[in-house]
């Protein structure tokens, strides 16, 4: 099934999140699925069951309490974010299988760049030698998926030091740049989207926001 890819550029987190909610609430059985590709200005987001104590110190970076799964994470310029607005019933997968397929798409993209990566059944995301390079956070509502994934491309990693990333104390994070892959966010998206399309059995058509 064809899905629309929307390029949102650099956009504030909260309006994009609210638009995802509105899109999900308004969709019908005939609504085409969409992938939203975006970068966010610096922001911490805390999941539904997120514990504030995982934010280790006060900073000027805003904190948004959101409705995805998971704990606290950081988004900032130089990080690729792909939101997956998918009809979950139509997809015909369980939640665990959906997570596995998203991880597999990222792992395949990294392999294409010469990087060996892996998932973790106990801690969703993608890791390179134990350091997290990609995070996942999803919400399923009214039979549809929203939120999605983030991949560290060429971003400032310092704000991760001020939280327990995804709720794990001492978890190290990494980025493509530090692994010798000098891609821009747009280039990383171009590499990743075909793998997402294959794993989710889609044909993606790009369109600017």
List, as residue ranges, the binding site for substrate: 68-75, 135-137, 148-150
Catalytic annotation, pick one of 86, 134, 166, 176: 166
Separation between Cα atoms, residue 64 and residue 98, nearest integer Å: 25
Nearest alpha carbon to residue 73 among 99, 47, 38 = 47
What lies within 8 Å, CB to CB, of 141 at 6+ separation is 24, 25
Residues tagged in the binding site annotation: 68-75, 135-137, 148-150
- Told to judge if 166 belongs to the known catalytic residues of this protein, a careful annotator would answer yes
Separation between Cα atoms, residue 192 and residue 37, nearest integer Å: 11
Compute and round to an integer the Cα radius of gyration of the chain: 16
Place of tokens 């892959």: 181
**For residues 202 and 2, is the Cβ–Cβ distance under 8 A?**
yes
Q: Which residues are tagged catalytic?
A: 166
């Amino acid at each position: 099934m064809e899905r629309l890819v929307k390029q949102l550029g650099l956009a504030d987190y909260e309006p994009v999140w609210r638009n995802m909610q509105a899109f999900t609430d308004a969709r019908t059985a005939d609504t085409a699925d969409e992938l939203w590709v975006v970068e966010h200005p610096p922001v911490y987001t805390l999941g539904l069951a997120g514990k504030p104590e995982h934010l280790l110190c006060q900073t000027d970076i805003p904190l948004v309490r959101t409705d995805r799964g998971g704990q606290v994470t950081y988004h900032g310029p130089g990080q690729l974010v792909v939101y997956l607005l998918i009809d979950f019933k139509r997809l015909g997968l369980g939640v665990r299988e959906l997570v596995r397929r998203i991880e597999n798409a990222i792992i395949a993209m990294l392999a294409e760049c010469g990087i060996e990566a892996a998932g973790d059944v106990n801690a969703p995301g993608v890791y390179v030698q134990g350091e997290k390079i990609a995070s996942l956070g999803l919400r399923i509502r009214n039979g549809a998926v929203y939120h999605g994934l983030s991949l560290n491309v060429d971003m400032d990693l310092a704000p991760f030091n001020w939280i327990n990333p995804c709720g794990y104390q001492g978890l190290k994070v990494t980025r493509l740049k530090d692994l010798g892959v000098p891609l821009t966010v747009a280039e990383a998206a171009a590499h990743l989207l075909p793998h997402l399309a294959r794993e989710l059995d889609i044909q993606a058509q790009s369109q600017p926001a």
